[in-house]
A = this chain, B = another copy of it.
Amino acid sequence: MLTFEILKTSEETGGSTPSRARLGTITTDHGVIDTPIFMPVGTRGSVKSVSVEDLDHCKVQIILGNTYHLYLRPGCEVIDHMDGLHSFIGWNKPMLTDSGGFQFFSLAKLAKFTDAGVAFQSHIDGSRHVFSPEKAVEIQMILGSDIMMSLDWCMGYPASERQTLEAVNKTSLWAKRGFDFWQEKGAVNNLFGIVQGGMYKPLRTLSAEQLTRIDFPGFALGGLSVGEPKALMYEMADHTLPLLPVHKPRYIMGVGTPEDLVELVGMGCDMFDCVMPTRNARNGQLFTSTGTLNISNAKFRLDKGPIDTDCNCYTCQNYSRGYLRHLYKSRELLSYRLNTMHNIYYYLDLMEKMRAAIRDDRFLAFKTEFYAKRQT
C-alpha cells in the first residue's frame, strides 16, 4: 500500500488566486515519487521513441501504461508470462495504469455501457471483448502497476445532464465493485477511484461524495480535457479538488499544457499525465521557457543554438535547432527521440521547479515569472 506524505501546503495569499499547492511524496513498492509530478504516457509498453535510460535522464519518476492497449496487444498472457509490465519493459520505477475507461470513450468501437461493465470491439481487429469493473482490476494486477485505476465511464463534451448522471452512478457502482474485488484479492498495489460528473458542478459533487465513501488510497478527476473550453476545465477542477480527502493523492487525468500544470498545481493537484509532450514532439512542436516552437520552421535552418538556452536536457546540450530541423524535415527516426527527450525533460523540469517554489513559499511568484517569460 502506498504512503502519501504532505511535506508542505502552500499558504501564499498574495494576488487574486491564493495558492493551494502541496508538496509531498508518494512511496510505492517501486520507489518514491515527489509530488506534484507529471507522468509520461507509455501506451503500449514504451514511452514512444525513448528508452528507460532516456526517461531517467529526463527526471521521470513514474510512467503511465494503458490497460486497454496492453490487454489487446501483447495481451495478458504475454505480460503475465514475462512477470509483469515492469519486467517486460525494463522499467523498475513506479508505474500507473489506467482502467481502459477513457479508451472505451475515445478509441474502441461500439462500446456499450451496462451495469455489468463495458462491451466493446477492438480498434485493431474488431474482436469483441467485455471489461467488468473486476476484470479491469484483475488485468491491472497482472500488469503489476503500482497504481491501478477503477473502471469509469467517461463522457465527452458536451453531454446532457441525464447522461452524465447515468455515467456518475455507473462509475460509482463500478468503483465499489472494483474496490471490493481488489480487497478480496489481497489489496496488492494500489487502486484509485475516478470522479466523473462532466461539466456539471452538482454532478461532480455527487460523484466525489459517492467515490470518497470508498477508502481508495487516492482519487482522480476523470472526464476533463475532453473538448470543453479551458476555463470550464479549470472551473470543474477548482470545484472538485477541495471535495477530495486532503491526505490522499489527487490526480487529474489527461491534462495538460504547461500552463494547465501550473494552474492545477496551484489548485492542489498532485499528479498529471498527458500525451502532449510526447505526441507534440513527434509533430515537431517543442516546449520552451518562452513558449512553444515548431522545429520545422524555415527560420531555424541556419540556427546553431539549442531549442532552449535555459534547458539542460540531452538534446539541448548536444544539438542545434538547425540539425533538429534537418532531422525533422527528413523524417529521420532520431528526430522523434531527440524532440521527445526535450519535451519530457521540459515537463519534468517544470514540475521540479514548481516543487522547489512550493518548498520556498514562492509558488505565486513562480507563476508570475512563468507567465512573464512566456509573453516575451
Contacts and interface: CB of A to CB of B under 8 A. Distances in A.
A151 to B, nearest CB: 24
Of the four ranges (under 10, 10 to 19, 20 to 34, 35 or more), the interface on chain A belongs to 35 or more
A88 B333 contact: no
B301 A74 contact: yes
Interface string A56-88: 000000000000000001100110011000001
B333 A49 contact: yes
Contact of A323 (B88, B301, B327, B334): B88
A367 interface: no
A46 interface: yes
A116 B82 CA distance: 62
Contacts of A332: 44-46, 48
Contact of A330 (B44, B326, B327): B44
Identify which of A327, A336, A337 gathers the most chain B CB atoms within 10 Å of its CB: A337
Interface in A300-326: 301-302, 304, 318-320, 322-323, 325-326
A65 B319 CA distance: 18
A318 B90 CA distance: 7
A107 interface: no
Contact of A73 (B77, B78, B330, B333): B330
Identify which of A45, A74, A322 gathers the most chain B CB atoms within 10 Å of its CB: A74
Contacts of A159: none
A322 B88 contact: yes
A349 B330 CA distance: 30
Identify which of A44, A90, A333, A337 gathers the most chain B CB atoms within 10 Å of its CB: A333
Interface of A: 44-46, 48-51, 73-74, 77-78, 81-82, 88-90, 301-302, 304, 318-320, 322-323, 325-327, 329-330, 332-334, 336-338
